Amino acid sequence: MRLRTTVTVTVALLVPTALVACGREGSPPGSVTALLSGDRQRLTYPVSHHARDTGSLSLARAAARGRIVIGVKSDHPFLGFEDPVTGQRVGFDVEIARMIAADLGYSAGRITWKTVPPQGRETAIAQGDVDFYVAAYTINDERKKQVSFAGPYYIAGQDLLVKKENRDINGPAGLKGKTVCSVTGSTPYQRIQEPRFGAKVISHDSYAQCVQDLIIGETDAVTSDDTILKGYAAQNGGRLRVIGRPFSTEPYGVGLAKNDKVLRSAIDDALEHHMANGDWRRAYEDTLGRSGTGPVPHPPRIQRY
Amino acid sequence: MTSVLFDTRGPRARRRHAIYSVVVVGGVAALLTYVFLRLLDAGQFTAAMWQMFSYEGVQRRILAGILDTVKAFLLGVAFSLVLGILFATTRLSVHRLVSVPATVLVEFFRAMPLLIMIFALYNTAWLRSSVTAIGGSLRDHLGGPGSWLAATFASPTLWALVIGIALYNGAAQAEILRAGALAVPRGQREAAVALGMRKGQLMRAVVIPQAVRSMLPSIMSQIVVTLKDTSLGFIITYEELLYAGKLLAQNTATPTGYPYIPVLLVVGPCYIGMCLLLSTAARRLASLNGRTATAPIRREKGLLRRR
Amino acid sequence: MHVLLDNTDLFLRGFVGTVTLTGLSALLALTVGTLLAVCRVSPVPPLRALGTAAVTVLCNTPLTLLFFAVTLGLPMLGLSRLSYFCLAVLTLGCYTSAFVCEALRSGVNTVETGQAEAARSLGMSFPQTVFLIVLPQAGRAVVPPVGSLLITLTKNSALAGGFSVYELFSTEKTLVENGYAILTVFAWISAAYLLLISCISGVFRLLEHRLSVVR
pLDDT one-digit tens code per residue, B264-303: 999 999 999 999 888 888 777 767 765 544 444 444 456 6
Q: Which CATH superfamily groups domain C2-211?
A: MetI-like (1.10.3720.10)
Q: Where are the domains of chain B?
A: 60-292
Predicted confidence at residue C214, as pLDDT, reads 57
Nearest CB to A216; choose among C76, C164, C181:
C76
Predicted confidence at residue B77, as pLDDT, reads 95
Nearest CB to A142; choose among C162, C163, C179:
C179
Integer Cα distance of C80 and C73 in angstroms = 10
**Does position B304 have pLDDT exceeding 80, yes or no?**
no
Q: Which CATH superfamily groups domain A158-242?
A: Periplasmic binding protein-like II (3.40.190.10)
Inter-chain residue contact C155 with B120, CB threshold 8 Å? no
Which CA distances in Å does C1 have to C5, C18, C35, C80, C175? 6, 22, 46, 41, 14
Which CA distances in Å does A133 have to A68, B85, B105? 11, 42, 37
Average pLDDT, chain B: 85
Q: How far is CA B261 from the centre of its chain?
A: 24
Q: What is the CATH number of domain A42-156+250-291?
A: 3.40.190.10
* Mean pLDDT computed over B165-184: 90
* Mean pLDDT computed over B145-161: 82
Predicted confidence at residue C38, as pLDDT, reads 92
In one-letter notation, the amino acid at residue B306 is R
Long-range contacts of A171-176 (CB under 8 A, 24+ apart): A171/A243, A171/A245, A171/A247, A172/A197, A172/A245, A172/A247, A175/A199, A175/A220, A175/A221
Integer Cα distance of A131 and B207 in angstroms = 53
Q: Residues of C numbered 97-116 whose beta carbons fall under 8 angstroms of chain B's beta carbons: which are they?
A: 105, 108-111, 113, 116
Cβ pair A245, A171 in contact under 8 A:
yes
Predicted confidence at residue B168, as pLDDT, reads 93
Residue in B204, B175, B207 with CA at minimum distance from that of residue B190: B207
For residue A129, the distance in angstroms to the closest alpha carbon of chain B comes to 8
Kindly list the partner chains of chain A, i.e. chains with 3 or more CB atom pairs below 8 Å.
B, C
Predicted confidence at residue B295, as pLDDT, reads 42
pTM, entire model: 0.85
* Mean pLDDT computed over B69-74: 94
Longest dimension (CA), chain B: 80
Predicted confidence at residue B70, as pLDDT, reads 93
pLDDT one-digit tens code per residue, B85-127: 999 989 888 888 888 999 999 988 988 889 888 888 887 777 8
Predicted confidence at residue B292, as pLDDT, reads 47
C184 reaches A (C-beta below 8 A): no
**Does position B26 have pLDDT exceeding 90, yes or no?**
yes
Cβ pair C80, C9 in contact under 8 A:
no
Low-confidence ranges of chain A (pLDDT < 70): 1-22, 37-42, 51-53
Inter-chain residue contact B251 with A31, CB threshold 8 Å? yes
For residue A269, the distance in angstroms to the closest alpha carbon of chain B comes to 30
Integer Cα distance of A24 and B50 in angstroms = 13
Inter-chain residue contact C163 with A204, CB threshold 8 Å? yes
Q: How far is CA C35 from the centre of its chain?
A: 14
Predicted confidence at residue B173, as pLDDT, reads 92
Predicted confidence at residue C180, as pLDDT, reads 78
**C197: which residues sit within 8 A by CB, 6+ positions away?**
B111, C151, C154, C155
CATH topology of domain B60-292: MetI-like fold (1.10.3720)
Chain B hits for A208, CB-CB cut-off 8 Å, are 246, 249-250, 258
Computed on alpha carbons and rounded to an integer, the radius of gyration of chain A in Å comes to 22
Question: What tens-digit pLDDT sequence spans chain C (215 residues)?
Answer: 677 777 888 888 889 999 999 999 999 999 999 999 999 988 888 999 999 999 999 988 999 999 888 888 887 887 666 678 888 999 999 999 999 999 998 888 888 888 888 998 998 888 898 899 999 888 888 888 898 899 999 999 988 887 778 888 888 878 877 777 777 888 888 889 989 998 998 998 898 888 876 55
User: What chain C residue is nearest to A139 in terms of C-alpha separation?
Assistant: C179
**A74: which residues sit within 8 A by CB, 6+ positions away?**
A80, A81, A82, A115, B237, B247
User: What chain A residue is nearest to B43 in terms of C-alpha separation?
Assistant: A216
Region(s) of chain A under CATH 3.40.190.10: 42-156+250-291, 158-242
Nearest CB to B61; choose among A74, A84, A126:
A84
b/e per residue A15-42 (b: at least 16 CB within 10 A): eeeeeeeeeeeebbebbbbbbbeeeeee
Chain A hits for C76, CB-CB cut-off 8 Å, are 216
